[in-house]
Structure 1
Amino acid sequence: MNGIVKGGLKLNVITYTILMDGFFKKGDCEHAFGVFDQMVLVNGFCKSNKIGLALKMYDDMKKKGLELDITAYSALIGGFCKMQDMENAGKLFCELLEIGLNPNTIVYNNMISGFRNLNNMEAALNLYKEMINNKIPCDLQIYTSLIGGLLKEGKLNFAIDLYLDMLSRGIVPDMFMYTVLINGLCNNGQLENAGKILKEMDGNNITPSVLLYNTLIAGHFKEGNLQEAFRLHDEMLDKGLVPDDTTYDILVNGKLKRSYAPVGA
């Protein structure tokens, strides 16, 4: 293998796989695992948040003439995104494009989440548009990240349009998506729309959490809708959910505030 590298030939993932297979067939597990290690250590270090070691392995692989695959780039980009180092993540993203690799859903997911966590929704949405234009499938995590970011910025119509686009593509919301939606809508005073999402959850046989009910109940108390707040509390009990301390704090504080509100408030 060293002779191949010294001869100036680049090794790719397929070459390494063939080499591994050959070593295993010969019973030479030590060399086989040595080859394998070079391909998986980058991913392993990134998952362990040891980005420095991952970069060292990345440099070593390049010096040996090994062309990294999309999995290795994805791991490195994901590591930088977790550190909120979008500058280096962006450099690697450009590098993989330059060598002819096509970013996949995982790469875009990492980049979009990274920008969203830095409240750079413009960059996140540009990457989303790039995915759509290049016909790269968007997954639930990407939509959840984008919709959460838009709701945080108060861009309700844009967030709802994106949610409807997601549904039109056959992507089914999960509990986390519903939590992001309802929290965002309640924080923006959209209690009616939040209630519609709650009913949608019932239609999809997803039982709302106590946390979600707490958010809705608190929102209705804030708007002075005592009847709806207590109705939601009863509904929660009917579904077998057990109120927590936060639930009771919301109920007591909401009722007290309303009891002592000035006449006409």
Structure 2
Amino acid sequence: MGFAKEETWKVQRIFSPELLEVGLTPNNIVYNSMISGFRDLKNNEAALLLQKKMIAEGIPCDLKTYTTLIDGFLKEGKILFASDLYSEMLGKGIVPDIITFTVLINSLCKKGQLENACKVLEEMDRKNMTPSVLIYNTLIAGYFREGNLQEAFRLCDEMLDRGLEPDDVTYDILVNGKFKESDNLASASCD
């Protein structure tokens, strides 16, 4: 990853010596906030450097750390790298939650990888997690975009079978075949 020396220096100098001198050390919450900030600035390399700094300092990376990094790299289109982060997270025994699954499915659908997004949905089933209406909306919209109306309506039926109530976004997708990006992202945040 091409990361400028100046940016690396900024990340390394992020915690002032004065802060450390008075005995205040950055913790998991501080690091996660900063990683989220770098992700929001689309500077995933800096976010990854902070994660490595956390590990070097013995501060454990948690679900929020990984979900935020995965989200950033998926948005950047680095699906394989995000997949490696996901595998690393699972390898450490960190269990994904609904937010992590929403991030994965949303990004995979945006990249046209509906088959992989459905595999994530299957993983949720194996973990006895009920997908949200947002997750179903994302998948339904993805299949509408691909012209696979049969699968879109099958997913809608599956959502109903699970006892989930379609919302206005669901109906907009089914009636107009449209899915506004703002509707999707408003409910799925890593923060």
Short-chain TM bin: 0.7 to 0.9
* Equivalent position of 2:182 in the other structure: none
C-alpha distance in structure 1 between counterparts of 2:50 and 2:21, whole Å: 17
TM superposition outliers: structure 1 runs of 4+ over 4 Å? 88-92, 97-102
Q: Which residue, 106, 121, 139 being the options, matches 1:183?
A: 106
How far is the alpha carbon of 1:136 from its aligned partner?
A: 2.1
* Partner amino acid, structure 1, of 2:159: M
1:211 to 119, 134, 144: 134
Unaligned ranges ≥5, structure 1: 1-87, 256-265
Is contact 2:27–2:59 with CA below 8 Å preserved after alignment? yes
Could you tell me how far 1:227 is from its partner in structure 2? Answer: 1.7
Structure 1 contact 182–194 (Cα < 8 Å) conserved:
yes
Q: Match of 1:195?
A: 118
Give the paired residue count.
168
- Deviation per CA, 1:89-114, whole angstroms, max 9, x where unpaired? 98661323466654322221122112
* Partner residue in 2 for 1:164: 87
Q: Report the residue type matching 1:184 in the other structure.
A: S
Match of 2:161 among 227, 235, 238: 238
Counterpart Cα distance in 1 of 2:152 and 2:113: 15
SS at 1:154's partner residue? Answer: coil
C-alpha separation in 1, matches of 2:109 and 2:61: 26
Q: 2: CA distance between counterparts of 1:204 and 1:138?
A: 22
- RMSD of equivalent CA atoms: 2.3
CA contact (8 A) 2:133 2:164 kept: yes
3-state SS in 1 of match to 2:16: helix
Deviation at 1:135, TM superposition (A): 3.3
CA shift at 1:224, angstroms? 1.4
Could you tell me which of 16, 31, 42 is aligned with 1:94? 16
Residues in 2 aligned to 1:168 and 1:90: alpha-carbon distance in whole angstroms: 27
Could you tell me which runs of 5 or more consecutive residues in structure 2 were left unpaired when the two chains were aligned.
1-9, 179-191
Q: Is the 8 A contact 2:11 2:49 kept in 1?
A: no
Q: 1:170 to 1:127 in 2, by over 3 A?
A: same
Quote the sequence identity (%): 69
> What secondary structure does 1:136 align onto?
coil
CA contact (8 A) 2:114 2:142 kept: yes
- Distance in 2, matches of 1:189 and 1:121, equals 22
Q: Distance in 1 between matches of 2:14 and 2:47?
A: 16
Find the structure with the greater CA-based Rg. Answer: 1
Residue type of the partner of 2:82?
A
| Structure of greater relative contact order (alpha carbons < 8 Å, 6+ residues apart) | 2
| Partners of 2:112 and 2:129 in 1: CA distance | 23
Structure 1 position 143 matched with structure 2 position 66? yes
Whole-Å Cα distance in 1 between the matches of residues 49 and 14 of structure 2? 17
**Conservation of the 8 A alpha-carbon contact between 2:11 and 2:46:** no
Show the counterpart of 1:222. 145
Distance in 2 of aligned mates of 1:107 and 1:247: 37
Shift of 1:160: 1.0
